[in-house]
Structure 1
């Protein structure tokens, strides 16, 4: 089971966002049968089975185990991930990318979710790791001028480090994307 799965297909997102199906996904962090889930969520086994088939059709749950009891086969299902994120798909793009606009940061974050989600899915299928790095920190600025100076210095520092390690000619080199975002803490 993966920690996070990115849902890109709109139909799969609709299925996963249904309140009952979302609850079933949460319950299926551990394998369970339709009968066991029915007792937990207060629905009939048949209704739970219907919801499970919808989740399974979109790859959100999978068979973890089957048990045979006197000629009957019981399927134990589990979620394919502990958590799910619906990939944001912006309609259009910012007309004038401005590195200091909220719209541009949102578009970059959406692209990051889609791209890293696809890479993670492919890597998991091949039993490989994705070469990523993430940094998360908080900073408190005394003034708006300090925030602007920080943005300028950070841009210069990242540009200097990128120029130091960038090699466009290496035949086996691998392109990487660097995204840095700064926003007010909610």
Structure 2
């Protein structure tokens, strides 16, 4: 089972958004049969089977074991991932385009960039899995408490300057065999009711230098 799977197919996305099927995906973090799920969710087994077939058809669950119980064959199913993210690719005709109106101070542009990040990293994860190779990425996630809007603006200016210096130092347009990477840095208000104290860090994925209040992704 994967930690996270990216859903790119529109039909699979539609299947996953059905309330009953979403409950089944959550329940199938551990292998279970239709009979076990019917008892757990309080639904008829025939209805459970109907939704399981739909999830299996779209590759969201898989058969892990098949065993005989008297005259009945019991199929144990499990979700293919612990959690799922729906890629903007599933809504290709209306997915946001960061190139449409780039504005570093626009929350909507940040959302468009984040959507592109989900789409591109999802595609890279799928491609890497198909060839059995790891995908090299780097992520920093942190928290900062600004005393004022002026401090926030000064932080953004210094951060932009530091990033520009780093890009100038390591970017090599003429490097033979070099590989292009995308770097994203975002600062946004923390929507959680109780923010941690200033200077404390949130969760980080992959080890690397920690910068408060930034989210970076390298690929």
Q: Could you state the TM-score of these two structures normalised by the residue count of structure 1?
A: 0.92
Q: Distance in 1 between the 2:180 and 2:97 partners?
A: 23
Aligned to 1:93: 97
Q: What secondary structure, in the 3-state scheme, does the structure 2 residue paired with 1:134 have?
A: strand
Per-residue Cα deviation, 1:125-160 (whole angstroms, up to 9, x for no partner)? 333221011111111112212111111111111111
Look up the match of 1:42.
Answer: 42
How many Å separate the matches in 1 of 2:67 and 2:188?
51
Q: Does 1:143 align with 2:148?
A: yes
Runs of 5+ in structure 1 lacking a partner?
Answer: none
Residue 23 of structure 2 aligns with which residue? 23
SS, match of residue 170 in structure 1: coil
Q: What CA distance in whole angstroms lies between the structure 1 residues aligned with 2:66 and 2:30?
A: 14
State the 1:37 CA deviation. Answer: 0.9
Task: Tell me the matched-pair count.
Answer: 186
- 1:7-35 residue CA offsets vs partner (Å, 9 max, x unmatched): 12222122111111111000101111111
CA distance in 2 between partners of 1:171 and 1:34 (Å): 56
**1:55 & 1:111 partners in 2: Cα distance?**
26
What does the per-residue CA deviation read over 1:147-185, in whole Å, with 9 as the maximum and x for residues that have no partner?
111111111111111221112222322211100111111
Question: Unpaired runs of 5+ in structure 2?
Answer: 192-219
Aligned-pair RMSD on alpha carbons? 1.7
